[in-house]
Chain A
Amino acid sequence: MSTLNYRDAVGKALQDSMRDESRLILIGQNFAGHALKPLADAYGLDRVRDSSISESAMVGIAVGAAMKGMKVVVMIAYADIASVCHMAIVQSAAKLHYLTNGRLRCPVIIRLPIARFRGHGPEGNEVGASWFYNVPDLNIAMPGSPSEAYWSFREALTRPTPTLFFEDRSIQLRTGDVAETNPGGRAQITRRGDKLTIIAAGRAAALAEDAADELARQGQRGVIEVVSLGIIKPLDSETVLNSARKTGRVLIVQDEPIYSGYAPYVRCVLDELPVGALACAPCIIAGADQYLPYWDERPFLPSLESVIAAAKELLK
């Protein structure tokens, strides 16, 4: 498949899904002046629904449509707004399949763009994936590359349970090849190495790749292996464990505070390894446990410098 940037890969996933799934509908806001206008023009206002600012009802409506066999993509303006529709996500969408003993499916994607580094302030620069990490039957995609963006989106529409799709606008111009086939929810080894595994998702995975490339430039070629999770729940433990076994050292990078999320979970997964399998304790770099000020979010988040520094420390 072609080389795309991250933003266009999400767009292509949506376009291809609309083309391939005649009973897929899109619910969003402000379509008239939006990049989605071509979809509305192509598929009509039946399938591309312009809603009022009613996120909770938008998600609830998606669940109801799923009850009748529809697939639905709900476009939320940015990730923080997931808090507005938390009830509909957790109580209505996530529980539908379980509550009906599997008689009803809920192939619904809730798109939650991460809108950092744009001056939105603390009510507009959160990720929020970790808020939902303990909700059973709720899939969470956090793509870090164009290929993951494309395939985690397509994969989500095949699942009987809903997916939160955290797409990070800060990496939307990163380019990459989109794989020919769906990896089916498996984590991807995006850099190969044999001394240290960095496990991450989303922007953090992009940082990990950049750190691996920088260390290679500094002479440490083939040292860092990057496991890009793509889908953080359900998490591909097998790929994580295989890489950790191989390198014996693990760094986990998470773009949110450390109390919840994939970072502490991956650390639990690593406990499955036999004593001595790792040369040293796994290390986590996470966001600070504080809100991110409008004037500059970067000092409180993982950075290329902090990832490189941690990697070098672990490699000593």
Chain B
Amino acid sequence: MTSSSSAVNLDRTNSIEWQLYTKMLTTRVFEEALLRWEHEGKHSAQTFPSKGQEAVSIGTCLALEKGDDVIPSFRTRGAMIGMGISIEEQIREFLHTPLAAGDSRDAPHHASWPERGVMPGSTMIGGHIAMAAGIALANQCDRKLNVSVAFFGDGTLGSGDLHETMHIAGNWNLPLILVCENNGWEMSTPWPKVRKQRSLIPYAAPFGLATRQVDGNDSLDVYHSARWARATAIGGQPVFLDCLTFRLGLYSSHFGEVRPGIEKELAEAEKRDPLKRLGDWLIGAGLTTGADLERLQRDENQRVEAAFNAVRGEG
């Protein structure tokens, strides 16, 4: 994955575009492997793939600074990868190996590495929003120039804890960033059946949060919006980023595809796949080639498989 193995002679590894691409790719490849391994009986944890939504978590986490914290939702594995948690460390939680930092007590999608900014989430939809505000409160009391981030889906709009937390966070000026992965579906229910407006900004703004509508399939838009959000939150106003996106994958490995008649929408959404979009941009900018990206994906597949075998070998 370094420039020396590339057909393009550029030192690209430090560019934000290249980091966004490689971390989104890792997320995609790792989650596909998790589904495959579960099917093969190598682990039994349910996976909630973020396919098509990787730009939201990766774009946000790469905009953060040392000392910032995130709380992923159940579909935000990219947040763990974006915060620098290795594939091996994550696989340990799936396999409950002796080296699993959390002793595999929490479900793998809620695994945490508190000392590295990945805090435990909640299976109760919306419960972690208040906890993220508490982290922000601690940072505010300690006069630390850090933010906390909570990821959640648009179905969380129905949770009272989201509204209560926005009410308090707006009033207390907490350095909190709420990142909505607005994919338009609550499991098998399309958004018009459960709310009046697709965007969640009309619901968040009156609480005093700064808001921005983000193209959640454009990792660069997410990244720059998150940089703005970070500065705004530290400046004393919590932020709501409404990232419009689309779930390209299953609801989960246990439930499968639960959106009846989704095939046409899926085909359309595939054209906006954030990984493909950024790959095309990189090729257009002369930073890589199609063959280069194909090789990168093969290498990543091998790396993830090797990580699984290595962790399994740890006993």
Question: Of B101, B130, B141, B142, which is within 8 A of A56 by CB?
Answer: B130
Within the assembled complex, what's the spacing in Å between the Cα atoms of A66 and B114?
A: 12
- Known contacts: A68-B135, A91-B122. The answer to whether A61 contacts B165 by CB under 8 A is yes
- Known contacts: A68-B139, A91-B127. The answer to whether A63 contacts B102 by CB under 8 A is no
B11 interfacial by beta-carbon distance below 8 Å: no
- Known contacts: A49-B172, A103-B101. The answer to whether A25 contacts B137 by CB under 8 A is yes
Chain A interface: which size bin? 35 or more
Decide: B133 and A87 in contact? CB cutoff 8 A. no
B162 to chain A, nearest CB (A): 9
A47 interfacial by beta-carbon distance below 8 Å: yes
A56 to chain B, nearest CB (A): 6
A28 to chain B, nearest CB (A): 12
- In this complex, which of A46, A64, A100 has the most chain B Cβ atoms within 10 angstroms of its Cβ? A64
B161 interfacial by beta-carbon distance below 8 Å: yes
B40 interfacial by beta-carbon distance below 8 Å: no
Decide: A70 and B160 in contact? CB cutoff 8 A. no
A17 to chain B, nearest CB (A): 16
B250 interfacial by beta-carbon distance below 8 Å: no
Which residue of the partner chain A has the closest CB to B129? A60
For the complex, would chain A's binding face be called helix, strand, loop or mixed by DSSP majority? helix
Chain A residues within 8 Å of B120, by CB: 96, 99-100, 104
Question: Of A57, A98, A103, which is within 8 A of B168 by CB?
Answer: A57
Within the assembled complex, what's the spacing in Å between the Cα atoms of A104 and B114?
A: 8
B131 interfacial by beta-carbon distance below 8 Å: yes
A83 interfacial by beta-carbon distance below 8 Å: no
Within 8 A of A (CB), among B88-140: 101-103, 105-106, 110, 112, 114-115, 119-120, 122-124, 127-140
Within 8 A of B (CB), among A35-66: 46-47, 49, 51-52, 54, 56-66
B183 interfacial by beta-carbon distance below 8 Å: no
- Known contacts: A54-B168, A57-B165, A70-B141. The answer to whether A64 contacts B127 by CB under 8 A is no
Decide: A61 and B124 in contact? CB cutoff 8 A. no
Chain A residues within 8 Å of B161, by CB: 56-57, 60, 87-88
Which residue of the partner chain B has the closest CB to A103? B114
Decide: B133 and A101 in contact? CB cutoff 8 A. no
Pairs A–B under 8 Å by Cβ, sample size 9: A54-B164, A54-B167, A57-B161, A57-B164, A61-B137, A63-B131, A88-B161, A92-B122, A101-B101
B285 to chain A, nearest CB (A): 40
Decide: A67 and B167 in contact? CB cutoff 8 A. no
B148 interfacial by beta-carbon distance below 8 Å: yes
Decide: A99 and B102 in contact? CB cutoff 8 A. yes
